[in-house]
Structure 1
Amino acid sequence: MEGLAVRNETRVTHFILLGLSRSPNLEIVFFVLFLLMYLLAVAGNLLILITIYVDSQLNSPMYFFLSNLSFLDLSFSTVTVPKSLVNFLMHSKIISFGDCIAQLFFVHFVGGTECFHLTLMAYDRYVAICNPLRYNTIMNRRTCLLLVLSTWVAGFLHGFSQAFPSTLLTFCGPNEIDHFFCDSHALSLLSCSNAFISETANMVNSGSLTVCCFLVVFISYVYIISTVLKIRSAEGRKKAFSTCASHLMVVTLFFGPGVFIYMRPSVTFAGDKLISAFYTIVTPWLNPFIYTLRNEKVKKSMKKLGGRKVSFLETHVD
């Protein structure tokens, strides 16, 4: 009973996020890099959202899915980066237990939703290329809305399944998390209770999600490539491949680091934090450039949007 009382008295109520480095000079460098990439990610993804919303010519399932991806990228970076920016400049890097669990939940909620959504976009490209005559019938507005909603529900369940086991762990100290945001593996390393079940559940959950999504994407592109290779026109093949190239680049950038971090036993490597920084901030920053640089329709719509803004300003200034 005395041991139990001492354990309850020393239970951790907050954590300290150690961040990417313990060097003040390096933290300033990381602050500047994170701030620039975050501002560019916010600006780029907001620009895509506004462009697709304003331009009626982009009223198709492909661009509807792209706008949802931009919103997910914006949300994903916002879950971790603002807190990290504050910690880079603060000596005290405290986060409460409740805020830590909430951050863990939203990282996996939004990240899981994006994983499902990228899989959905692969299916959309499969229907567009392999069943072009039935595309508008299959991917009608109602179906698209239900599919997107299902990715959010699945992402929510994934986030809950990652966060809930961590709430069952006991933390007696130390309370220093060797990361720049709260994650399930980083928390389990600090637990003074048996974290085997929690770790196993989290790995199986993340592994199942990744494998299922990867298989759907892989099978979709097997059919897509076999269909494209049957197109006689070189111009037709080029156009078909160009519609998939951006998505494949984004899938690689997102799935690659995620597989390395979550599809393995509970082993910590020195580069884990930098890899996590890649998929939480670098990928959301790169995605708008990948899609706008390779998509003529989006670039033309952005130019038109810029022209409307200039015209609006000239009218009101005069």
Structure 2
Amino acid sequence: MAALNQSDVLEFILTGFPGLPEKFDSFVSISFFLIYNISLYANLIVVVLLLLRRHLHQPMYVIIGNLSISDLLFDTLTLPKIIAKYWFGDGSLSYTACFIQMFFVHFLGTLDSYIVMLMAIDRYIAICKPLRYHSLINNRLVAIICLVFWIFAAVIGLTVIASGLMLPFRGTNRVKNCFCSFNPVAVLSSKDSASSRSTRFVIAMSSHLCPLSFIIYSYIIIIQKICSSGRAENWRKAFYTCTTHWLVIGLYFLPRLTVHTYNQLQLIPNANLDVFLICLYTFVPHFTSPIIFCLRTKEIKRTLVKVFKWNISNNKY
């Protein structure tokens, strides 16, 4: 693979937070370890519950299940390596492994945007057109749409790494990030990567701004619909639900779009701030979304209580 673009670099080194004093290494590694475990168990609980409990086989939970699987894959393919870098000093990835990781980073990152968009559209139909919900939305349709999104996102991932593989790398191999993604790797190329960055910027904007536009529109209509009901209880419930949802959505989209924009404009932010923003929009939504979108819903809470009580009663014997 390296021979295709005449690269001399055989491996890349993940620097994590560049320039961060070593005294903070333990704090960073423990933080990533906790984030990974919270995300792992929260998303696993969601996936297992949705697989085993037939009454949860509903369109909304099918969508959430796809989001949880995507986040599980992303975190498992990225976090163990950066944890190993801070715990054991092992931050190296082979040339091939770096680009494989890059594919999944952009594949699953794009997928998350479209799954969250589908979730917003599902809630829009459920709240604004409740009488037509079951005629418009069903498990089969949602499964097909999710499959299309998985395929589309995979094509985006392949397009991104194809741009990266065309770049030659000689000498410099230290990636200022916690995982291999296009921009931190492309800047290491011995060739001007402006054209590749522009292509990546257009892909990123179309992959994230389009879903965000649908999400914003859906929530505006939802809020208007609930407010028009004139009931204070409905308004309070809508405000609480939309606020928590927008917290996750905002954490995912706003830092991401900010990073893509200043990278395209070639502005030079503080390197540690850059990595922090990337980690903020990448990992934080992965452990907050299953809690906010799924585990705090009444139906899931009742199911968890039943499973917990069933386990306790079985363990007594």
Find the counterpart in structure 1 of residue 9 from structure 2. Answer: 12
Q: State which drifts further: 157-166 or 238-247.
A: 238-247
Find the counterpart in structure 2 of residue 138 from structure 1. Answer: 136
Q: Which whole-Å deviations, capped at 9, do the CAs of 1:95-131 have from their partners, x for residues lacking one? A: 1111111111100101100011001111111111111
**2:284 maps to which of 265, 282, 285:** 282
TM superposition shift of 1:261: 1.5
Find the counterpart in structure 2 of residue 309 from structure 1. Answer: 311
TM superposition shift of 1:242: 5.4
1:158 aligns with 2:156: yes
**1:63 maps to which of 61, 64, 71:** 61
Calculate percent identity across the aligned residue pairs: 29
Distance in 1 (CA, whole Å) between partners of 2:239 and 2:134 is: 20
Look up the SS of the partner of 1:218 in the other structure: helix
TM superposition shift of 1:32: 1.0
Distance in 2 (CA, whole Å) between partners of 1:70 and 1:293 is: 12
TM superposition shift of 1:51: 2.2
**Does the 8 A contact of 1:65 with 1:121 survive in 2?**
yes
**Does the 8 A contact of 2:16 with 2:178 survive in 1?**
yes
Distance in 1 (CA, whole Å) between partners of 2:141 and 2:35 is: 34
Q: Would the alpha carbon gap of residues 261 and 216 (structure 1) be closer, same or farther in structure 2, given more than 3 Å must change?
A: same
Q: Which whole-Å deviations, capped at 9, do the CAs of 1:259-312 have from their partners, x for residues lacking one? A: 122234233422110111122322212223323564222212111111122223
TM superposition shift of 1:206: 0.1
Q: Structure 1 counterpart of 2:267, which letter?
A: V
Q: Would the alpha carbon gap of residues 92 and 75 (structure 1) be closer, same or farther in structure 2, given more than 3 Å must change?
A: closer
Q: Structure 1 counterpart of 2:286, which letter?
A: P
Distance in 1 (CA, whole Å) between partners of 2:153 and 2:80 is: 22
Find the counterpart in structure 1 of residue 52 from structure 2. Answer: 54
TM superposition shift of 1:55: 2.9
Q: State which drifts further: 272-281 or 52-61.
A: 52-61
1:35 aligns with 2:5: no
**Does the 8 A contact of 1:20 with 1:27 survive in 2?**
no
Q: State which drifts further: 141-150 or 197-206.
A: 141-150
TM superposition shift of 1:240: 5.0
**Does the 8 A contact of 1:73 with 1:284 survive in 2?**
yes
5 Å-filtered alignment, 1:65-214, equals: 65-214=63-212
Distance in 2 (CA, whole Å) between partners of 1:245 and 1:62 is: 19
Larger radius of gyration: 1
**Does the 8 A contact of 2:82 with 2:178 survive in 1?**
yes
**Does the 8 A contact of 1:49 with 1:70 survive in 2?**
yes
Q: Which consecutive unaligned segments of at least 5 residues does structure 1 have?
A: 1-6
Distance in 1 (CA, whole Å) between partners of 2:15 and 2:115 is: 32
Q: Structure 2 counterpart of 1:297, which letter?
A: E
Look up the SS of the partner of 2:42 in the other structure: helix
TM-score (normalised: structure 1): 0.90
Q: Which consecutive unaligned segments of at least 5 residues does structure 2 have?
A: none
Q: Which whole-Å deviations, capped at 9, do the CAs of 1:175-198 have from their partners, x for residues lacking one? A: 111212111111111111121111
**Does the 8 A contact of 1:80 with 1:280 survive in 2?**
no
**Does the 8 A contact of 2:57 with 2:139 survive in 1?**
no
**1:257 maps to which of 255, 258, 276:** 255
Q: State which drifts further: 82-91 or 94-103.
A: 82-91
Q: State which drifts further: 16-25 or 124-133.
A: 16-25
Look up the SS of the partner of 1:263 in the other structure: helix
1:269 aligns with 2:269: yes
